[in-house]
Amino acid sequence: MAEIVLKGLGHSYLSDPKSDADYALKPVDLVWADGKTYALLGPSGCGKTTMLNIISGLLTPSDGQLFFDGKDMTHAGTAKRNIAQVFQFPVIYTTKTVRQNLAFPLECRNWDRSKIKDRVAHIADLLDLDDILNEPARSLSADQKQLISLGRGLVRDDVSAVLLDEPLTVIDPQMKFGLRRRLREINRATGITMILVTHDQSEAMSFADEVVVMKDGRVQQAGPPEQLFARPQNEFVGYFIGSPPLNLFSAEQRNADLHCPSLDISVEVPADARDRSTKFGVRPEHIKMSKDLADNSPHATVQAVENLGIERVFTLRTSVDETLKVKSRHHKTVSPGDKVGLFVDDKDLLIFSDGTLVCH
């Protein structure tokens, strides 16, 4: 097991990169602590696989260095890194049984038979594959095949980290939930660092101790899910994390005040926001609605209601014609056409200056 450190690590697939735009992964400093679960989250093409392949050694970075426990591994071969990688599609031998699939990596390392038997039994127990050890791998479901891929990585007893590159893509939604939980259990039982690549924010948020958000080859923010939700460092993170995404409202600077016409709130203009393009942001979960309308309170008209079971998502239009979403467990009787009052606590109000979060 190891702490993985990226120091100015970046990659361009071009032989002579000239500008930032030529980098699939723009140089970044990052620390992946030993034993934690991470998610690498971002839209397709943002550089997630590039970063993962550099860590596993499938790709040599054009810039910077990679360290495992302080040791420079930038140019080390894949075999030296002890990384288990699980891909989008299961990599297994369909003609072999589950047991043979799990045993194969150890046979290649010339382990003796009794040691292989014990180790395979241990991994099968961990992954709950005991009952199907003698089944041919081709007869199994997609999630079981992915567990075997994972098992083939974990079966070695020297694994530093497990890297999973969108491994849940081919799996049914219900099975996804189960497999994600199983991954977390394995992390807890073994203490092996896990990095899960995904473009699905809810998958990232429910799996990881820390989420790293990427866009256009650049790391936007890294932190615990709660932090990304409460304090998104920029409008992109606010938009990408959360469902529905962060609401953004226009802001007007009036001398020393920054005013939000939709919510009728004013705050002192933060120093970093003076004479810049500013917006207010509020999470749909942080806007309270009320059917009691005081004359001068900010209000909005309900346009649509979506029932999610426990919660509802209300689409509203404010008095200055901005659209917002509110997510709430209450207000079962609020319907399209109703007029509601809006309330936002000062602590839940975010301010973005030229797209970046500023303190207020």
Q: Residue 42 CB, nearest distance to ligand ADP (Å)?
A: 6
Interface residues for ligand ADP in 15-34 (CB under 6 A)?
24
* Interaction of residue 187 with Mg ion, rule CB under 5 A: no
- Report how far apart, in Å, the C-alpha atoms of 27 and of each of 34, 37, 218, 257, 309 are: 22, 23, 8, 38, 43
* Interaction of residue 48 with ligand ADP, rule CB under 6 A: yes
Interface residues for Mg ion in 211-250 (CB under 5 A)?
none
Interface residues for Mg ion in 25-54 (CB under 5 A)?
49
Answer for which of 15, 19, 44, 307 binds ligand ADP (CB under 6 A) is: 44
Q: Which does 211 bind (CB under 5 to 8 A by kind): Mg ion, ligand ADP, none?
A: none
Mark the segment that binds ligand ADP (CB under 6 A) among 37-45, 127-135, 245-253, 295-303: 37-45
Q: Residue 76 CB, nearest distance to ligand ADP (Å)?
A: 20
Q: How many CB atoms lie within 10 A of CB 155?
A: 25
Answer for which of 37, 50, 220, 234 binds ligand ADP (CB under 6 A) is: 50
Q: Residue 69 CB, nearest distance to Mg ion (Å)?
A: 27
Q: Which does 13 bind (CB under 5 to 8 A by kind): Mg ion, ligand ADP, none?
A: ligand ADP
CA pair distance 224, 237, nearest whole angstrom: 13
* Helical (H) or strand (E) element with 305: strand 299-307
Pick 62 or 146: Cβ nearer ligand ADP: 62
Q: Is the peptide bond before 244 cis (omega within 30 degrees of 0)?
A: yes
Q: Residue 27 CB, nearest distance to Mg ion (Å)?
A: 19
* Interaction of residue 304 with ligand ADP, rule CB under 6 A: no
| Residue 153 near residue 84, CB atoms below 8 Å | yes
Instruction: Name the one residue in this structure whose structure tokens are 């209601």.
Output: 305
Taking CB atoms, the residue at the shortest distance from Mg ion is: 49
Q: How many CB atoms lie within 10 A of CB 284?
A: 20
CA pair distance 199, 81, nearest whole angstrom: 26
| Residue 246 near residue 192, CB atoms below 8 Å | no
| Residue 279 near residue 250, CB atoms below 8 Å | yes
* Interaction of residue 62 with Mg ion, rule CB under 5 A: no
Pick 46 or 241: Cβ nearer ligand ADP: 46
| Residue 84 near residue 159, CB atoms below 8 Å | yes
* Best CA proximity match to 146, nearest among 76, 58, 84, 68: 84
Residue numbers at the binding site for Mg ion (CB under 5 A): 49
Residue numbers at the binding site for ligand ADP (CB under 6 A): 13, 24, 42, 44-50
